Amino acid sequence: MTDLRVGLIGYGVAGAFFHAPLIAATPGLRLSAVVTGNPERAAEVDRRYGARAVGDAAELWDSSDLIVVASPNRTHVPLAEAALKAGLPVVVDKPLAATAAQAESLVRLAGDLGLMLTVFQNRRWDGDFLTVRRLISSGELGTVSRLESRFERWRPTPKGGWREVGGAEEVGGLLYDLGSHLVDQALRLLGPVTDVYAESDVRRSAVTSDDDTFIALTHAGGARSHLWVSAVAPRLGPRFRVLGSAAGYLKHGLDVQEDRLRAGLTPDSPGFGEEPQERWGNLGTDDAHHPVRTEPGAYLDFYKGVAASLREGAPPPVDPGEVVEALTVLEAARRSAAERRVIAV
């Protein structure tokens, strides 16, 4: 069966380190063209993937079977809309849109046209998240009352760029970047949210977008999620602390897949998503606990799901309607931080 030709819009961090290698490693998909105006990146695309570089997204419409949008956040909606109107299914990097209303409009358009639309919420395939999901579903934690989840880094010197200095129109800042993942994971683990409270700050000079944000969610089932995203954490907290009526789970350190992708490892190599035993989390109480093997991370499963959706009519790997729900929570968090109050959703 002929491989599906994939046109990738953008070859920055998201395109180069995540989408391109994952697409290339997925059976049934072929990276055929990449939109980039950088000559060095164009040469890399040709050398590494045998893909051609083009200067404009519109050049992809007639030569692609799937479009992947990995360009700056402010361009996600117009590019996804243009691709759908050109009759092409679309993968959009997170965040899908700046608002839930914009996201709903895209979901409606894709539905009306009978085209697949999905969102690259790759952190659903982090090994630690998969481990927490397993522990909850198996009942080993008992009834979960609190989820603590963090993406913290120590970057006292800003890198610059639109993510840190762009205004609201750029959809920059950590709330919509890493916060998109944390909120999505909390919703998948503990269900719908009724109330949102957030504190959001800009701590570093020469930065205008949030770089230190806390989000508290009250779930309809009674559990609470406390979520942190920060670029100014000189001492990192645990990646996960999950408290249940029977046991707690404590896990430090980030999933290994991003570092391995950045190092140039191919995502279909043996053991790619396996975490070393010394980094496993532990389950139990302070008096009695034991290490728990971290589930293998599996970013490649996202694009395998994309291929299955297009080839076999399977559901997309990420339901865009779930992403609308997460954007509703993110909007409430932004409003909560601005108004300094709890927001009902």
Between the CA of residue 283 and those of 130, 173, 321, what are the distances in Å? Answer: 15, 33, 33
What is the residue type of 146? R
Q: What is the pLDDT of residue 69?
A: 98
Among 27, 84, 64, 24, smallest CA distance to 308 is for: 27
Residue 218's CB: how many other CB atoms inside 10 A? 18
Q: What is the pLDDT of residue 169?
A: 81
CB 304 within 8 A of CB 315: no
Q: What is the pLDDT of residue 160?
A: 86
Superfamily of domain covering 123-298+328-344: Dihydrodipicolinate Reductase; domain 2 (3.30.360.10)
Residue 130's CB: how many other CB atoms inside 10 A? 19
Q: Give me 182's structure tokens.
A: 């944390």
Which are the contacts of 252, defined by CB distance < 8 A and separation ≥ 6? 236, 238, 239, 279, 281
Q: Where are the domains of the chain?
A: 4-120, 123-298+328-344
Peptide bond before residue 95 is cis, with ω within 30 degrees of 0: yes
Q: Give me 6's structure tokens.
A: 């994939």
DSSP string, 131-174: HHHHHHHHTTT-SEEEEEEEEE-B--S---SHHHH--GGGT-ST
Domain 4-120 coded CATH 3.40.50.720 = yes
CA distance 150 to 182: 7
The pTM for the full model equals: 0.96
Rg of the chain taking only CA atoms, in angstroms: 20
CB 168 within 8 A of CB 210: no
Q: What is the pLDDT of residue 166?
A: 79
Residue 52, classed as helix, strand or coil, is: strand
Q: Give me 44's structure tokens.
A: 């890399």
Q: Residue 15 has what DSSP assignment?
A: I
pLDDT along the chain (345 residues), means of 10: 95 97 98 96 96 97 98 97 98 97 98 98 98 98 98 94 85 95 98 98 94 98 98 98 98 98 95 97 98 98 98 98 98 98 98
Q: Residue 154 has what DSSP assignment?
A: B
